[in-house]
Structure 1
């Protein structure tokens, strides 16, 4: 049992993800940090790669006043549909959402003033090439704002889940795409080697998400990339793991999760 199906994972996870996006303090923090790092001005044209249900896109569009606009792209049709609904409900109209694979961009060179990619880069098939394409799409002086997952990913429920998943399904491959860029120094080198830049800055934040009940830990798994492993298991095994996770969290009075996020912000050379 191998492979990580990004599109199907997030098509299935989109509803739960969308419900959690404004409730999770850590996801709100990622949105706010990425938006701040973009340093948006009136009239800017912004590309949001791996836009999900539109949090960063909406935040950026509110700042890109005047002739400014945002294009949000995501490989998941379901995520994009939720993003369009969220934009419509928010009354934000200087925004467009497109179903697109980040490995297959066809936007013209130097067509954006800034580019965001929050918690999605590690899903690309060729990260060096994708980051090079980010640089090509930015005008001289444009800003690149990346966020990737660090070493704490929905800790401690994620580790408990993966251990149980492999215990009950020994042939399950639980290698995770996000582990490819958990090392902040490695992420910096990828950005440095992909293009020419004037400035680059790094940051790391560990956000704590408070849970109303032990059952909420399972909901975060269902609304994240861990859904990929859940959808490879039979229903009885999923229910067994869900029950074990809930009992374990209740028994140990676990009422928070930790999400580590790495940030890289860079400015393209003029």
Structure 2
């Protein structure tokens, strides 16, 4: 299994395992930041939207409401259990213009210029080659369309994050991560650089400082169980799991909030792209003529 396939398999396994806690009220930030991303796009009635790494619908649901019955939202995620959660929510809200499916954003098979808007909230960093992933999303965007990339800022979930990994270090040091994949793009400069490498040189990027309240330290454990940390926890036996939980909460103490800094990026695709594509097609036809 190559690096790309391995990364996809790990992400899918982690979030399928986390699905039972993903929508717990203590993890309301998934939907809060999804909605804020959609608000920045200023969607209009009738637009078509592709939402990749959609989770259980944090951005797809408000997008479907914004584009209305004449619009359409296609929401895709690797984790089929999250897709099932989103499908149930769309049905409850009678959103017939929202379609959830399990899929890989790098291999969706849509033609060029298929969507008015493409959204990726807290997902682009799961792909080892983020630049290639952004290029693929950009390819599916129509001239004049918008691409939204939302990612985590610095110090994600601190101080709980450090307490978690210290507890893992004591129990299973072999499970420690060398780095967090989103760190490369956790600042406006980092996200802008990554987009530039993908050929996107004009984007509105802003950082938003924030924190997420905990009613009790135990809330943090529910968040960990409903997020990517679950992939690590799934590799522990029952006794080790209990020791890590107890140690994590002991290190955390009476923490009442965790850091949730976010970086938003929105880029608009120039309309000249269509004219250039027509020129390229005409030139190719001329070159291929006998």
**TM-score, normalised to structure 1's length?**
0.92
Q: Cα offset for 1:37?
A: 1.9
Single out whichever of 222-231 and 177-186 deviates more from structure 2: 177-186
Aligned to 2:270: 269
Aligned residue pairs total 264
Q: Is the 8 A contact 1:117 1:147 kept in 2?
A: yes
Q: Is the 8 A contact 1:210 1:257 kept in 2?
A: yes
Distance in 2 between the 1:266 and 1:231 partners? Answer: 37
Aligned to 1:17: 22
Summarize the Cα distance change of 1:154–1:196 in structure 2 as closer, same or farther, 3 Å threshold.
Answer: closer
Q: Cα offset for 1:25?
A: 5.2
Q: Does 1:52 align with 2:30?
A: no
Q: Is the 8 A contact 1:103 1:126 kept in 2?
A: no
Rg larger in structure:
2
Q: Which structure 2 residue ranges, 5 or more long, are not aligned?
A: 1-5, 272-290
Q: Is the 8 A contact 1:204 1:263 kept in 2?
A: yes
SS of residue in 2 equivalent to 1:158: helix
Q: Is the 8 A contact 1:38 1:116 kept in 2?
A: no
Q: Cα offset for 1:125?
A: 3.1
Summarize the Cα distance change of 1:220–1:8 in structure 2 as closer, same or farther, 3 Å threshold.
Answer: same
SS of residue in 1 equivalent to 2:134: helix
Distance in 1 between the 2:197 and 2:55 partners? Answer: 27
- Relative to total residues, which structure has the larger strand share, 1 or 2? 1
Aligned to 2:129: 126
Q: Which structure 1 residue ranges, 5 or more long, are not aligned?
A: none
Q: Cα offset for 1:246?
A: 2.3
Taking the TM superposition and a 5 Å limit, the aligned residue runs for 1:139-154 are 139-154=142-157
Give RMSD over aligned pairs.
Answer: 1.8
Q: Cα offset for 1:260?
A: 1.5
Single out whichever of 127-136 and 29-38 deviates more from structure 2: 29-38
SS of residue in 2 equivalent to 1:152: coil
Aligned to 1:225: 228
Summarize the Cα distance change of 1:25–1:7 in structure 2 as closer, same or farther, 3 Å threshold.
Answer: closer
Query: Which of 233, 239, 242 pairs up with 1:239?
Result: 242
Q: Cα offset for 1:60?
A: 0.3
Q: Does 1:182 align with 2:186?
A: yes
Q: Cα offset for 1:141?
A: 0.7
Q: Is the 8 A contact 2:69 2:96 kept in 1?
A: no
Q: Does 1:42 align with 2:45?
A: yes
Query: Which of 76, 81, 85 pairs up with 1:78?
Result: 81
Distance in 2 between the 1:172 and 1:65 partners? Answer: 45
Q: Cα offset for 1:9?
A: 0.2
Query: Which of 81, 90, 93 pairs up with 1:90?
Result: 93
Q: Is the 8 A contact 1:25 1:207 kept in 2?
A: no
Q: Cα offset for 1:24?
A: 4.1
Distance in 2 between the 1:217 and 1:85 partners? Answer: 26
Q: Cα offset for 1:89?
A: 1.2
Q: Does 1:102 align with 2:105?
A: yes
SS of residue in 2 equivalent to 1:55: coil
**TM-score, normalised to structure 2's length?**
0.86
SS of residue in 1 equivalent to 2:261: strand
